A and B are shown apart, each in its own frame.
Chain A
């Protein structure tokens, strides 16, 4: 019970948070954080625990989102069916992909997964009769309040963390980590490496696809560039896990909070502070700065990753002891 104390306190706080913080803007940000907890946790299972670094999270996220969107758009079903089916359809995509890509190792697998995301984006763009192409899919949201979405996202995030925790304490987890550490050694102790990599990939796809379906329901609008985005989905998933701590249970959760906050700081140019400064000071220079800062989050993420990898190679959670030491000294 003791080891669960902090997570349980946090969970209790998260349960009452939207009742206290009623500002829709912050509720929106919290929903995004929770979505990224799910996606990052799923990526962490495949890459952090099983060692198969993937640049393909967007493929599964997008497929999940489109599953929900198309069910509503073409069949007139509730997009909530997508919550049940989005993950399953993502697994259907993951299966043949794994079949083709798992003979590849290391960087070659990563490149294969990068290609998967791009292929899926092209398909969604070009297959207009099915996906409406660049026009995108617009559905009616079920709820006006953000609260239902918040609690569903929270359930999904908690569920994904519980799933990973259960996996790491089982045979499955031991096999995943063995494959990460040395694939040849893993095979030599009787592990069917292809099978277990496939299981890991399917879990990743399922979580990411389900998150995608929730995104469709919540946002009400998707297009190929949003949900199949390489840098906003696939690379963001990697950053969330790396910043928080690859191969740690709570790493992606911490990473999601940091990354969403950071993204928002840049997108809103310091929550409008920079704009206010510009207005106060006037002058062309500050106007240019404001304009570029709000577009520079990708660059900032790149710098952040370099800093994190150099100073905290195991992420905020993985190197927590080191961070505490540094603060005590300082």
Chain B
């Protein structure tokens, strides 16, 4: 059963159509990659799913329920976690407090929320930084904090927006390992990513958009061979 479905979703910013009639269905338990050149509408699509702003047309379904009109916090409460491409740590709070704030969604008492937060810090490998202020973290740790915070809301679907961008090769491998670990724990993942190494190695299926429109969908191998995808990334072959 599809856990997340987009039906003909579009978004206009003034006269610009940033997302144009995008449809896809994410199956439970898979890692679903969303790729496309810069400015193709990937992050906008994420923002439409979690309702950072409303869709112009179309419908978003989560577990068969129409979530198009719901607010961001309601969508999160239903079980959709997300990270931000431009990380948004709660800077003047410690790493632990960041995650405690998240854990309060499912656990009312301070004691429980704290225990949960510590569990998720351990799961994501941030325990050594628990007492640090979030603003003092390196970019790799900030990205990891984004994931930890999202996981502490105990989502069944996790939207990862470029969590590998800006990481060095060693950190990249750690990020991939974490994403696979999250999937193994039973969470479905939709991931937007620029780094092909990441997206090609971990995605079960990939959906490629350009200028807000779908141009291909399939396994990583199929998408990598698709002439429209190659054209979108590399331009027209020959003659110029």
Contacts and interface: CB of A to CB of B under 8 A. Distances in A.
Pairing of A with B: yes
A175 B110 CA distance: 12
Interface string A178-209: 10011011111111110000000000000000
A169 interface: yes
Contact of B108 (A171, A185, A188): A171
Given A188-B76, A189-B76, A190-B76, A181 B150 contact: no
A189 B110 contact: no
B90 A184 contact: no
Interface string B84-113: 100011111100010011101100101001
A139 interface: no
B101 to A, nearest CB: 4
A172 B237 CA distance: 58
A174 interface: yes
A187 B47 CA distance: 12
Given A182-B90, A188-B50, A171 B72 contact: no
A189 B93 contact: no
A188 to B, nearest CB: 6
A177 B73 contact: no
A213 to B, nearest CB: 33
B150 A174 contact: no
A145 interface: no
Interface in A155-186: 169-171, 174-175, 177-178, 181-182, 184-186
Contacts of B59: none
B73 A191 contact: yes
A169 B73 contact: no
Contact of B153 (A169, A174, A190, A192): A190
B76 A169 contact: no
A192 B74 CA distance: 8
Given A188-B150, A189-B149, A189-B150, A171 B104 contact: yes
Contacts of A187: 71-73, 76
B177 interface: no
Contacts of A181: 89-93
Contacts of B230: none
24 contacts: A170-B110, A171-B104, A171-B108, A174-B113, A175-B104, A177-B101, A182-B88, A184-B72, A184-B88, A185-B88, A185-B89, A186-B101, A187-B71, A187-B72, A187-B73, A188-B72, A188-B81, A188-B150, A189-B76, A190-B102, A190-B105, A191-B73, A191-B101, A192-B71
Interface of A: 169-171, 174-175, 177-178, 181-182, 184-193
Given A174-B100, A186-B101, A193-B73, 5 more contacts: A177-B93, A178-B90, A178-B93, A188-B150, A190-B76
CB-based closest 3 A-B pairs: A181-B90, A190-B76, A185-B88
Interface of B: 50, 52, 71-73, 76-77, 81-82, 84, 88-93, 97, 100-102, 104-105, 108, 110, 113, 149-150, 152-153
